[in-house]
Amino acid sequence: MDELIEMVVKYSKTGDPALAEKILNAILPDVHLFVLTKVPKQDVDDVRQDAVFAIALALYSFRGESRPEFFAYCYRITRASIAKYYRKRSREPQTYSDFEALLALIDEDAVNAHFTEVEKNDAREAVELLKRADPECFALLYSRHILELRLKEIGEDLGISENAARMRVNRCEESFLKG
């Protein structure tokens, strides 16, 4: 039996923290290389840390008998950490262009289209209101009312049905009107 596997088996019986540290130090370079190919470079350290932490928590439950089985187990946990990272990232607000630049575009557009001063002010006020919205609602309301996307298109972008997109937009509109 491989020395690494012997340490893992011994750890699962004793729970010795020093043994866990040795095991994690032995797999750290491999986990790092695996994560390095899957996430943006600026986030590699964070994702690697999460993966190693998850491996440390699950180390006691490994029941394999070979090095390939152990690394498959570790990579499975690491893939779950990477998936968690991307799920979390998908929920974070996306950065939008500078609102001052957006206001300048509105003013430029209004001049070119010969909008009245009232229409210019309405557009400026709409952008100011959108700045205060929840980031997810901002994206939905911006897509629906500024970009004039159909609910079907919004749903496709989010990977949801048209009805789910309609419900989200309606909730955002309601919370926007209340707040």
Domain ranges of the chain: 3-91, 99-178
Dmax (CA) of the chain? 81
Say what the pLDDT of residue 22 is: 93
CB atoms within 10 A of CB 86: 12
Interatomic CA distance for residues 179 and 171, integer angstroms:
12
Distances in Å between the Cα of 162 and the Cα atoms of 87, 151, 167 are 21, 6, 9
Q: Which CATH class, in words, describes the domain spanning 3-91? A: mainly alpha
Say what the pLDDT of residue 75 is: 92
Residue 132: phi, psi to the nearest 5?
-90, -5
Say what the pLDDT of residue 35 is: 93
CATH number attached to the domain at 99-178: 1.10.10
pLDDT in 10s for each residue of the chain, 179 residues:
689 888 988 888 888 899 999 999 999 999 999 999 889 888 999 999 999 999 999 988 888 888 899 999 999 999 999 999 988 887 766 555 555 666 666 666 655 666 677 777 777 777 677 667 677 777 787 778 777 788 888 888 888 898 998 998 888 888 777 76
Tokens 């009805």 belong to residue: 163
- Taking the complete model, does pTM exceed 0.75, yes or no? no
